[in-house]
Amino acid sequence: MHKLSLLVDLYELTMSQAYLRYKRDSLATFDLFVRELPKARSYLIAAGLEDILGYIRGLRFNPADLAYLKSKKMFSGEFLAYLSRFKFRGDIWAVPEGTVVFANEPLIRVTAPIIQAQIIESFFLNTINLQTMIASKASRVAVAAGNRGVFDFSLRRTHGSEAGLKVARSAYIGGFDGTATVLAGRLYRIPIVGTMAHSFIMSFKSELDSFLAYADTFPGRTTLLVDTYAVRPGIENAVTIGLYLKKKGYRLQGIRLDSGDIVALSKLARRMLDKAGLGYVKIFASGNLDEFRIARLLDAGAAVDSFGVGTNMGTSIDAPCLDVIYKIAEVTDEEGNFLPTMKLSQGKVTYPGRKQIFRVEDKKGRFVRDILGLEKENIKGRPLLINVVKKGRVVYKPPPIGKIRSGLKHNLCRFPAQLFKVDPGFRYPVFISPQLKKMRQLLVNELRKRQ
Amino acid sequence: MHKLSLLVDLYELTMSQAYLRYKRDSLATFDLFVRELPKARSYLIAAGLEDILGYIRGLRFNPADLAYLKSKKMFSGEFLAYLSRFKFRGDIWAVPEGTVVFANEPLIRVTAPIIQAQIIESFFLNTINLQTMIASKASRVAVAAGNRGVFDFSLRRTHGSEAGLKVARSAYIGGFDGTATVLAGRLYRIPIVGTMAHSFIMSFKSELDSFLAYADTFPGRTTLLVDTYAVRPGIENAVTIGLYLKKKGYRLQGIRLDSGDIVALSKLARRMLDKAGLGYVKIFASGNLDEFRIARLLDAGAAVDSFGVGTNMGTSIDAPCLDVIYKIAEVTDEEGNFLPTMKLSQGKVTYPGRKQIFRVEDKKGRFVRDILGLEKENIKGRPLLINVVKKGRVVYKPPPIGKIRSGLKHNLCRFPAQLFKVDPGFRYPVFISPQLKKMRQLLVNELRKRQ
């Protein structure tokens, strides 16, 4: 992987060259937020801030970057010299990773010289889009699974290597219990899990031979995949191995069902295992699972103890992107005063000014509504955006990932239960504050007049 | 980004430890293929081989990897010692990047010691899934756009940084003309393009001021975004700038429409520009485009010269994963003879043996069908799988990306036109050879008997 300073849309750089000429000293505030939630999402879980902070720390243009830009013959010497000295010097406010957020609420707010605020746009959107999308999808899956285990099996279908790692991390934040991706386990210190593949079984003369070989290699941690040929004989073979291990003083950890009618097969497996005195053997299900399917399986009484969830979570298959945008909300005039600004394009209206999210709770500590207001407004409610970068210096130390994950779990309980229905429809109330409403209306009138 | 040797599902390693104990000398052949095409795909464009070869070259387990694995207390000293000396020593056959492929056709075939063939599974699937998925989607978009330009605008919504780069590259292979992602331009030597964002316009007192500033900065390469406030006045301002540049001896390059009724607005813009003597100014459309929308726009007579296509292509939004799998097809017995093998799970049957794809053409050089057969079978037709790694050494030098792209363009014309309908339904004929059919039937019978 390469240094990511040039991971930027070309127009950020061309605009910046024009800014350098006309707006060298302008400051601007940008909001990064999701305009509309995907259909099957009632809430989002913010994720990606750690990478944002790492990017800000390392954002420099090296000689190879500059040589490439120069070769394009579109940038001025003045601009290239500016880039060679580039360092981000602005302020960034953000909601911590693992925060529940809703449509129109800024996940990140940047106030900086306009060039600097502009150049970081592509990376910010890219990072928050992936990680927030995945943490949000994973949270739904984890909620649907209740207190059963859920594990990330998605590496083979995530959008590349980096996505595989970030999916494992974001899913863990969202409530998953671990991942099959070894490197993610190492980098983020999250639990890793693994069973066996069909190929292992098929490489032996018989299923039983393969089960025996695995059990002898990992007597204390064997989960047997029972559907390579036919499931009932597969479970019978697993029972044989379970009894074999028992005799040697070990416990067969589990069996895995990866195809077929999971409800019926899991009940069958449970009965067969119990009858053989193997009540402690867990039943693990995988294969095309998501929150909808898990909810249906559990409603139908599937005897499943934990789930391996792959592609559908790792690609957020029903909503493989968020409507995440980065919009200018204010900019300084010649005297250095901040003036609110906004867009009027059809169906794409934004909110002006420097904003804050206020989360309001009742006396019992239950969250009842959010208010999107102006930063300086006097609103009762906990402000969610905190200062993470001050004059270019990172001033926020993220908690360890386990804390992020458990903090989220704790906070989820404080929201209305309707938020977590598998079929969403409930919209958590997010109000616009009176002052923000007023500012917006004045600005709409003014912009319409100017046109 | 980190060394990717541990970018592997944990079960690949646990199975490998059991293989080491029981099948140290076994060789196996695995096929990587797409079981079923997504609903809206009639063909796939193979991509990702370059990264596969880079991975094979660099696949080693370093001391940090080994220390992490040791810390998990599940691996034997013997296995960790094996990994410390690991080097891939097998053979790999693959279809070159930019090859048109269909369901069940192996994109990659690996014959290697079974441990080695197993350990590479996760990375191979991950890499081919992303890049083939994107090249295939991009090809549909490029075909829909006909001879108009199509550019990758997807960075902000791709699944992370690496995906942003790989999407730009895969889309270029699939027929795109360039990307907005600067780093992709630098790394893969593909053209980069850029216009301006709404924020640029909004940071100025008026749209006209912003247009003027940009035009003065890039007089020879200005494309003006005209929908920030209202489109008709936006186009009027663009005409003003077009005439201003003309007077100074420059040509306004284009205008960009990013929202609203693109058919009506593009026709309006074309008329207004032509009337002002600015017939050379191109009209660029963007905003939520894909092959379906582009086809509809062009059918309705939209006056668009080129398209910026983002999220829908960069996430392959209607099919954000492929049903790509990696299946064992043969394995050696104790005497070292290869025996075909296959899976019988419900609805997941595979083809055994060491296979080759034969592409059959008629006398005029038009492709008429593929035959999936056994490697040694005598079938008339060009074999598509070529030897890219021999005993662990990469023996294939991929052509430059421009050649891959133009080769694909040339080859596409040799397929039946129905393949390229935007609403797919046509299935290109892929036959199973008589010998492969026979081998499969014998094996099904044998496996059923064993059960």
Per-residue confidence band for A451, with pLDDT thresholds at 50, 70 and 90: low
Q: What is the pLDDT of residue B3?
A: 84
Chain A: give the shortest CA distance to residue B335, in Å. Answer: 13
Q: What is the pLDDT of residue B1?
A: 39
- Per-residue DSSP letter, A400: P
Stretch A262-271: mean pLDDT, rounded?
A: 98
Q: Is the pLDDT of residue A343 over 90?
A: no
Stretch A179-196: mean pLDDT, rounded?
A: 96
Chain B: give the shortest CA distance to residue A161, in Å. Answer: 7
Residue A398 CB contacts under 8 Å (≥ 6 apart), including other chains: A49, A50, A53, A96, A97, A404
Per-residue confidence band for A425, with pLDDT thresholds at 50, 70 and 90: confident
| CB contact (8 A) between residue A166 and residue B160 | yes
Tell me phi and psi for residue A217, to 5 degrees: -80, -40
Q: Is the pLDDT of residue B416 over 70?
A: yes
| CB contact (8 A) between residue A229 and residue B447 | yes
Q: Is the pLDDT of residue A1 over 90?
A: no
Quick: pLDDT tens for B307-331. 999 999 999 999 999 999 999 999 9
Q: What is the pLDDT of residue A424?
A: 84
| CB contact (8 A) between residue A126 and residue B7 | no
Chain A: give the shortest CA distance to residue B367, in Å. Answer: 31
Q: What is the pLDDT of residue B24?
A: 85
- Per-residue DSSP letter, A279: T
Stretch A55-75: mean pLDDT, rounded?
A: 96
Q: A389, A394, A373: which is closest to A112 by C-alpha?
A: A389
Quick: pLDDT tens for A37-64. 999 999 999 999 999 999 999 999 999 9
- Count of H-run helices and E-run strands, chain A: 16, 19
All structural domains of chain A, each given as residue ranges with its CATH number in brackets, are: 10-134+323-450 (3.20.140.10), 144-314 (3.20.20.70)
- CA gap B130, B135 in Å, rounded: 9
Q: A324, A405, A316: which is closest to A105 by C-alpha?
A: A324
Tokens coding B98: 């930019």
Q: Considering chain B, what is the average pLDDT of its residues?
A: 95
Closest partner CB to A203 (pick from B21, B114, B155): B114
pTM equals 0.97
Stretch A301-324: mean pLDDT, rounded?
A: 98
Residue A376 CB burial class (10 angstroms; 0-12, 13-18, ≥19): exposed
Chain B: give the shortest CA distance to residue A396, in Å. Answer: 23
Q: What is the pLDDT of residue A345?
A: 65
Q: What is the pLDDT of residue B266?
A: 98
Q: Which of A171-180, B133-142, B224-233 is least confident? A: B224-233
Stretch A262-269: mean pLDDT, rounded?
A: 98
Which residues of chain B are within 8 Å of residue A10 when distances are taken between CB atoms? 180-182, 185, 192-194
Q: B22, B6, B109: which is closest to A194 by C-alpha?
A: B6
Q: Is the pLDDT of residue B2 over 60?
A: no
| CB contact (8 A) between residue A161 and residue B213 | no
Closest partner CB to A213 (pick from B18, B159, B324): B18
Per-residue confidence band for B195, with pLDDT thresholds at 50, 70 and 90: confident
Closest partner CB to A158 (pick from B2, B126, B185): B126
Stretch A66-77: mean pLDDT, rounded?
A: 97
Residue with tokens 């799970």: B345
| CB contact (8 A) between residue A345 and residue B198 | yes
Quick: pLDDT tens for A14-43. 999 999 999 888 999 999 999 999 999 999
Chain A: give the shortest CA distance to residue B380, in Å. Answer: 32
Which residues of chain B are within 8 Å of residue A21 when distances are taken between CB atoms? 213, 216-217
Q: What is the pLDDT of residue B302?
A: 98
Q: Considering chain A, what is the average pLDDT of its residues?
A: 95
Q: Is the pLDDT of residue B383 over 60?
A: yes
- CA gap A216, A210 in Å, rounded: 10
Closest partner CB to A451 (pick from B196, B233, B344): B233
Quick: pLDDT tens for B436-450. 999 999 998 988 887
Q: Is the pLDDT of residue B429 over 50?
A: yes
Per-residue confidence band for B348, with pLDDT thresholds at 50, 70 and 90: low
- CA gap B404, B408 in Å, rounded: 6
Task: Using CA coordinates, name the residue in chain B closest to A26.
Answer: B203
Q: What is the pLDDT of residue A334?
A: 87
Which residues of chain B are within 8 Å of residue A159 when distances are taken between CB atoms? 129-130, 158-160, 163, 166, 315, 320
Q: What is the pLDDT of residue B449?
A: 83
Q: What percent of chain B has pLDDT over 90?
A: 92
Chain B: give the shortest CA distance to residue A243, in Å. Answer: 20
Which residues of chain B are within 8 Å of residue A326 when distances are taken between CB atoms? 156, 199
- CA gap B26, A68 in Å, rounded: 49
Chain A interface disruption, residue of B161, B181, B192, B335, most A CBs within 10 A: B161
